[in-house]
Structure 1
């Protein structure tokens, strides 16, 4: 399956799609020193959220998909050098609305989970 959305995303910041199937995507994020918030190497949660959002958009895989809402939980810290695997599944689709569940792992440890409400628009959100 070919990617149809977020084709210009910066994969160094949001991860890269490593698996893409209908209603499912996996994104792998390699964390770097630039993502750290302190000298101990704690990675800013925004990078984890960004990778999870990218996974959700990829699972929907429509060029006009946009994020409407998200409920997320950070479960464990991520440190510089960790590789984060985000797994996203479309769990419901009604009209333009798609609900996507995302879980993110460092090795076998769950570090993030979220529910993303997305919408597939008839045309690009910017016109």
Structure 2
């Protein structure tokens, strides 16, 4: 699930609109790429809220210059949010991975908003 940061795993950097430093639940910062707030507490599964995941996905994909595989995105975002192995392995009632599902819904929102190019199966990229 959560891969170690390697040379081929993109990372959030210091110029990122969202911080690498984990936020305390009472801290709130605003991403310049989106109008939603970040830093809210995790849900009962240990995952960030849907709007936080969508904003982080948008910021992450914005910094990529090419098509990126979903598995790389899941790992980079989980590292960004500092998710535990329990949160990463949480399954939904139908057996699907809860974290991957949350990121996939974020992807769908970006597609619906006309921001994400979904013309290539199995890869994600923002329109620029």
**The structure with more strand, counted as a fraction of residues:** 1
With the shorter chain as reference, the TM-score category is 0.3 to 0.5
TM-score norm. by structure 2 comes to 0.32
